[in-house]
Amino acid sequence: MNQHLKGSLSTIILKLLHDNGRMYGYEITQKVKELTQDDIQITEGALYPILHKLEAEEVLTAELEKVDGRTRKYYKITPKGNAVAVDRIAELKAFAENLNLILNPKLSLS
Amino acid sequence: MNQHLKGSLSTIILKLLHDNGRMYGYEITQKVKELTQDDIQITEGALYPILHKLEAEEVLTAELEKVDGRTRKYYKITPKGNAVAVDRIAELKAFAENLNLILNPKLSLS
DNA sequence: TTTGGATGCATAAGAATATTATGTATGTTT
DNA sequence: AAACATACATAATATTCTTATGCATCCAAA
């Protein structure tokens, strides 16, 4: 995993679920890979504990579903969790903007 | 501190030192506050251990200087550390771009 | 046909990184 | 005199991720 991802991972997961409605773990890893052109690869050891934690906090709910012989665990954001998700996503957006401010500081127009 | 900052903090410090040449710890915290309009406040408990670690890795060197009665510890990037700094800054830029891709996914033009 | 790779979930030990609290000290403002 | 800003530092704790491992199914290649 990209070391800079640390701290932002759970919010990225919330963002994907917020956009896509319903996803399972492996699907989330593939979606992030696709969106970032293989730049960000979420490890399973990071992913699953986050999903379990968000479920325990009742931000997410899960349903098992068997597809083509394999069991998938689909997650979605709960109504209660929606406010949390929206907040964190807004914070992540602000952080991304702050990163841009730091990485591309405006030239002083003297 | 913004929770999303976790993992990016050391690279942000390297970026500021790379841009500004020579800074002391407290100055770094103030510069980040200024650039981000008070959005990001670096805590001292996070800052100083990072500076010490980068110094131990010989990415930074430090010089004590007494100014107006107070001792400042000025840091700068070593020639050897420059390559590390440039790499990490490039990775952080790539991460910021990836964040934008995730946060603002392109609409599918069907 | 069996081996490897992709799909799919899970957890545990350890490392890395930050929080929170605390301590010391000087200068400036109220 | 007290409060606040400047300036550095560290320790205990918490959070978050890595690395390794385990289990199981499906599909393709050898």
Domains of chain A: 3-103 (1.10.10.10)
What's the mean pLDDT in A11-37? 97
Residues in chain A, total: 110
Distance CA A14, CA A19 (A): 9
pLDDT at A108: 61
A89 touches chain B (CB under 8 A): yes
- Name the token pair of A5: 């991802």
Closest residue to B7, CB basis, from A3, A19, A103: A3
Q: Is the CB of B49 under 7 A from strand C?
A: yes
Q: What is the 3-state secondary structure (H, E, C) of chain B?
A: CCHHHCCCHHHHHHHHHHHHCCEEHHHHHHHHHHHCCCCCCCCHHHHHHHHHHHHHCCCEEEEEEEECCEEEEEEEECHHHHHHHHHHHHHHHHHHHHHHHHHCCCCCCC
- In the predicted model, is pLDDT for residue A16 greater than 80? yes
* Beta carbons of A105 and B2 less than 8 Å apart: no
Q: How far apart are CA A60 and CA A27, in angstroms?
A: 16
What is the three-class DSSP state of A96? helix
Name the token pair of A66: 């068997």
State mean pLDDT over B75-91: 97
Q: Residue A100 contacts by C-beta under 8 Å, 6 or more apart in sequence?
A: B96
CB contact under 8 A, B19 and A92: no
Span B2-45, pLDDT tens digits: 889 999 999 999 999 999 999 999 999 999 999 999 999 999 99
CB B5 within 8 A of CB A95: yes
Torsions phi, psi for A19 (to 5 deg): -75, -40
Q: How many angstroms separate the first and last alpha carbons of chain B?
A: 41
The DSSP letter of residue A104 is S
What integer is the mean pLDDT of B99-104?
Answer: 95
Cα–Cα dist A87/A68, whole Å: 36
pLDDT greater than 90 at residue A20:
yes
Task: Please answer whether residues A39 and B98 qualify as being in contact, where contact means their C-beta atoms are separated by less than 8 angstroms.
Answer: yes
Please give the Cα distance from B14 to B9 (Å, whole number): 9
Interface of B with A in 19-38 (CB under 8 A): 19, 32, 35-36
Please determine, for residue B87, whether its predicted confidence score (pLDDT) is greater than 70: yes
Residue B89 token pair: 């800054």
The predicted pLDDT at position A15 comes to 98
pLDDT at A107 over 90: no
